[in-house]
Every structure is written in C-alpha cells, then in structure tokens.
Amino acid sequence: MAEPYYITTAIAYPNGKPHIGHAYEAIAADVIARFQRQQGRDVRFQTGTDEHGLKMAQKARELGVTPSQLCDEMSQYFIDMCDTLHVSYDVFQRTTAPRHHAASQELWRRMAANGDLYLDRYEGWYSVRDEAYYEASEVVEGEGGIKLSPQGTPVEWTVEESWFFRLSRYQDKLLALLRDQPGFLQPESRRNEVIRFIEGGLRDLSVSRTSFDWGVKVPESHNHVMYVWVDALTNYLTGLGFPEDTTEMAKFWPADLHLIGKDIVRFHAVYWPAFLMSAGLPLPKCVFGHGFLLHRGEKMSKSLGNVVDPLELVARFGVDSLRYFLMREVSFGQDGSYSAEAIVTRCNAELANSFGNLAQRVLSQIFKNLDGRLPEQGELTELDNELGRSLHQAMHGTVPEAMAGLNFSVAIEEWMSQVFACNQFVDSQAPWALKKQGELARMETVLAVLFQCIRNLAIAIRPIIPTSADKLLDQMGIPVGERDQAALLDATWYARLTASGFRLGQPVGVFPRLELPVTAEH
C-alpha cells in the first residue's frame, strides 16, 4: 500500500488579489506534491483561503458589500490562480464553510475541556493587518508617532473582554519539541528564532474578540468570535473531515509538511502545536518557513508600485517557464529575487537552448534518418556506459535526494549537469557524421542511448515543468502510467517500446525561446 503524504500551504488572506508570493508558495507545494506522487506515495495536497477577521470585515464595509460576498469573489481569484499555475491540489478549503466552523468549535471545546481557556480582559497592542497581538517590548515608534509592529504594520491599543488560551503552560513542552525534534521546524535559522522567542517567556494568548462578529462563534459564548488564527490553523484538520473519524483523518494526520512563509512561523511553530497538545491531537511532522520573493531585490508593496500579478507573468512567459525559474533561481528557504530579464535569460539558456535543443536534435535525427523508427541499440562503448552511469546516479541519487530535502535549486543544478553531459555526448559522437561515414549501426546505438537519456531527464523534471515534460514524453510514445520514479528503474521499457512498433512523428519543440516584453524595465 502506498505510504500517505499530507502537504498543506498556508491559506491565503483574500482581502486582495493573489500576488507573486502566493504563486511562489503554491508552485513550491505543487512541486513537492508531484514529486511525492512520483515516488509512489498517496498524496493529499491542501490549500485554501482564510476568510474571517477584522481585515475582511473592514474591507467589505469599505467596498459596500457583505463579508460573505467579498469572500466568494476573492477566494475565486485564488482558485483561478492555482488552476492557471497547474497546482494539483486535492482540497481547496475555505474557512467560511460550515464544516470548518464545526471543526474549529470542536477544537475549542477540546482545549476548554483540558482547562486551557479562561475569560478575562485584554489590554494590549493589536495589528489589524497582521491579525496578530504584540508585546509592548516588540512595538516601535514610526513616523508621526505611529506605533508599529516588528513587521512594520500599524498597531492599535485594544481593550475588550476576551477568552485566553494558557499558552504559558506549554512553554517547556514547546522548547522540548524544538530542541528534541530539530526536523519539526525548518530551516535551522527559523528554528533558532522561535527557540529564542519562547525562551523570552510566553504569555497567555487572547483567542477571542467581541468588537466585531465576522468569524467562528465561540461555543456557549456567542458574543465572542474566535481569534482568526485559531480558526485559520484548524483548516488543516477540517480538510480531512475533523472532528469525524474519517478515513482521511486516520490516514493523513499528522501532516507531513506545513509549507508557509517565514512571516507566519510563530503561529505555526508556537500557537498551533500548543493548541494541538491541548486538544490531545498529534503534531505535524514538519513546518517549513520559506523566504520572500523580491522584485529586483526589493520587497513588493502597493506603495512602490511593484506588486506583480502572477497571471500576467504566465501570460508573458508561460506556466512552466515561471515554475522552472522560481524553483531554479531561489535557494528554497532563503529570500530570492526575480525580474523579467532573469526569467528570460534563465529559461532560454537552460530550457530552450539546452534541454529543448537536445530533445529536438536527437528526435529530429531519428525522424529524418530512420523515418521515425526507434533506433536499435547495439554494443555499448565505454563512453555510452559512462553517460548511462552518470545519469543513473543523478536520477536515483542526487536529484531525488535534493528534491526530498526541498533543495529544488540543487536538484535542478544536478539535472542540468546531466543535460549538458548529453549535449556533449551528441557533439562528440556526431550521429549525422556517422551516417555520412556509413556507420549506421553506431549511429543507431548513439541515438538509442540519447533517446533513453531524454526520456529519463523528462521524467525527472516533471514535478517542476509537468505540462512541457508530458508534451515531450507524449511525442516519444512513453505511456502515461510509466512516468514515475519506478519507471526510471525499469530496464525493459525501451525494448517494449521498440517492439510495439511505435514510430516517432515530426518532433515539435516544447520550449519556445522567450522574448523580453518591450514594457519591461531595463
């Protein structure tokens, strides 16, 4: 039976349309999900939208619509973004769904039953934009005397009756979790930050509001709505059917990976495990806080006018080019930068000129010289075997190991080294020259070796550029069910394909050269 794997993204706050940061996280999660499926695992991939809280209520009022109408409209933009980017989610969880309210209320009841909730009065700094509370020691003074959070967002002094969660009770348990299970929070830099935060002392957390009503009602206390982060984090359980004893809950919880941005690590690595401990539920296996995506080295903001719609980038460069660039260019976990020029340069050099050219040269030679018949593989030389060994080591060792470790840029670098090796092999063996010299058997062997290499390279890169890789594999006659990691171990596939009588048609390039838009800044 396939081993289960449950991955989630952070759910997006839909008070505005999706930006490139949302696309970056969705693409990265999709690459992980596709890679794990390719390894033969039974993957559950969940994303969604976080639709409650004061920000949404204020935005709806500003636009003259109800919060529910705003949520319906805005969440659709995120669904459309995921679909356009070929994000293969299994569940898109909206927090306004009735089943999510039920799940959040059940989590609350379990925390209450454990003695971890009490009613008191909250006085402190609150950021509407972050939907987060901040200690007085964290607040700084901005221009004009405006108080700001550590994130640079305005905070306001809030006084109201509130339910509190006994977060302080879990300080030692959380420290033990982070110290004893270093893999729980990655990368290492995020783990160290959170350990320092917990060591500074945890205060009990205000977990309800009475100043607005757009949220999940607190059980038996309906003038209160849950603090948006209690409700938001619960979505990871809702999508599995919690609190019902579903087969999905039994199979997929605890989650294998919560993929989130580094700005919300505290909520996922402090509050969330504490809530789960209180409710008597298993903790997720890993929280990974990735870095920010910067535009020309600058953080994107509406005031700077550099916020980019990811769908505009798709329209300019194509889905797979954008996916490839983001996974190739950025060391995952760190901040990264992008620009139109960088996308064009990287994708032309590697996808069009290197891998695309390799496939086009080899398949064209087979179509032209053998009328599309697959070449016979004769006796292999040491050079042939050397290329095969190098590719085998990459496909079964370095590439999947890097992918499993979320080191996407390292995996692609290794993959590209094999593309370069194949191109060098083409140049050194020159099948067109072998034909002229009448060495037809050797020409066929060279083309057979390269055909097999291209098939393996296409399978290996499928999680990152699924549509392009599949277009290439379709042309090559590779069955849809033979495009996973197990297929790379199958030593008999080429003989089967040859024996089937498959003939290669006129090859069609799948990696067109990109042009820099005339409107792009230089």
Q: What is the DSSP string of 157-179?
A: EEEEEEEEE-GGGGHHHHHHHHH
One-letter amino acid of 183: G
Give the pLDDT of residue 522.
Answer: 38
Adjacent-strand bridge partners of 295: 298, 338
Residue 492 domain-assigned? yes
Q: How far apart are CA 500 and CA 478, in angstroms?
A: 11
Residue 118 in 3-state DSSP?
strand
One-letter amino acid of 5: Y
Per-residue pLDDT of the chain (522 residues; tens, 9 = 90+): 789 999 999 999 998 899 999 999 999 999 999 999 999 999 999 999 999 998 899 999 999 999 999 999 999 999 999 999 999 999 999 999 999 999 999 999 999 999 999 999 988 898 888 878 788 889 998 888 899 998 889 999 988 899 999 999 999 999 999 999 999 999 999 999 999 999 999 999 999 999 889 999 999 998 999 999 999 999 999 999 999 999 999 999 999 999 999 999 999 999 999 999 999 999 999 999 999 998 876 776 655 666 788 999 999 999 999 999 999 999 999 999 999 999 999 999 999 999 999 999 999 999 999 999 999 999 999 999 999 999 999 999 999 999 999 999 999 999 999 999 999 999 999 999 999 999 999 999 999 999 999 999 999 999 999 999 999 999 999 999 999 999 999 999 999 999 999 999 999 999 999 998 765 443
Q: How far apart are CA 284 and CA 273, in angstroms?
A: 8
Q: State pTM to two decimals.
A: 0.93
Q: How far apart are CA 25 and CA 100, in angstroms?
A: 23
Give the pLDDT of residue 442.
Answer: 98
Residue 431: name the closest of 418, 420, 442, 423 by CA: 442
Residue 39 domain-assigned? no
Q: How far apart are CA 281 and CA 255, in angstroms?
A: 11
Helix orientation angle between 67-84 and 310-317, rounded to the nearest 10 degrees: 30
Residue 104: name the closest of 213, 278, 226, 264 by CA: 226
Q: Please, are residues 261 and 289 in contact by the beta-carbon 8 Å criterion? A: yes
Tokens of 285: 């296996």
Q: What is the DSSP string of 227-259?
A: -HHHHHHHHHHHTTTTTS--HHHHHHPSPSEEE
Give residues with Cβ within 8 angstroms of 499, minimum separation 6: none
Token pair 């957390």 in the structure block, residue: 205
Give the pLDDT of residue 520.
Answer: 46
Residue 367 domain-assigned? yes
Q: Which residues of 22-56 are buried (b: 16+ CB within 10 A; e: fewer)?
A: bbbbbbbbbbbbbbbbbbebebbbbbbbbbbbbbb
Give the chain's domain count. Answer: 1
Q: Which residues of 70-106 are buried (b: 16+ CB within 10 A; e: fewer)?
A: bbeebbebbbebbeebbbbbeebbbbbeeebbebbbb
Q: Which residues of 219-250 are buried (b: 16+ CB within 10 A; e: fewer)?
A: eebeebbbbbbbbbbbbbbbbbbbbeeeebbe
In terms of residue numbers, what domain contains 492? 339-499
Residue 204 domain-assigned? no
Residue 481 domain-assigned? yes
Adjacent-strand bridge partners of 294: 337
* Pairing status of strand 221-226 against strand 217-218: antiparallel
Other CB atoms closer than 10 Å to residue 254's CB: what's the count?
14
Q: How far apart are CA 207 and CA 217, in angstroms?
A: 12
Give the pLDDT of residue 304.
Answer: 60
Q: In this structure, what CATH number is given to the domain that contains residue 447?
A: 1.10.730.10
Q: How far apart are CA 497 and CA 293, in angstroms?
A: 43
One-letter amino acid of 177: L
Q: How many residues make up the chain in this entry?
A: 522
CA torsion, ordered 83, 87, 89, 94, to nearest 10 deg: -50
Q: How far apart are CA 232 and CA 207, in angstroms?
A: 12
Query: Sign of dihedral through CA atoms 152, 153, 157, 160?
Result: negative
Q: What is the DSSP string of 456-510?
A: HHHHHHTTTSHHHHHHHHHHTT--GGG-SHHHHT-TTHHHHHHHTT-B--S---S
Q: Please, are residues 268 and 233 in contact by the beta-carbon 8 Å criterion? A: yes
Residue 377 domain-assigned? yes
Q: First vs last Cα of the chain: how many Å apart?
A: 53
Q: How far apart are CA 510 and CA 475, in angstroms?
A: 10
Q: Please, are residues 122 and 84 in contact by the beta-carbon 8 Å criterion? A: no
Give the pLDDT of residue 244.
Answer: 96
Give the pLDDT of residue 306.
Answer: 65
Give the pLDDT of residue 302.
Answer: 55
Q: How far apart are CA 146 and CA 342, in angstroms?
A: 38
Q: SS3 for 270-300, per residue?
A: HHHHHHHHHHCCCCCCCEEEECCEEECCECC
Give the pLDDT of residue 295.
Answer: 81
Q: Residue 449 is inside which H or E element, if any?
A: helix 440-461
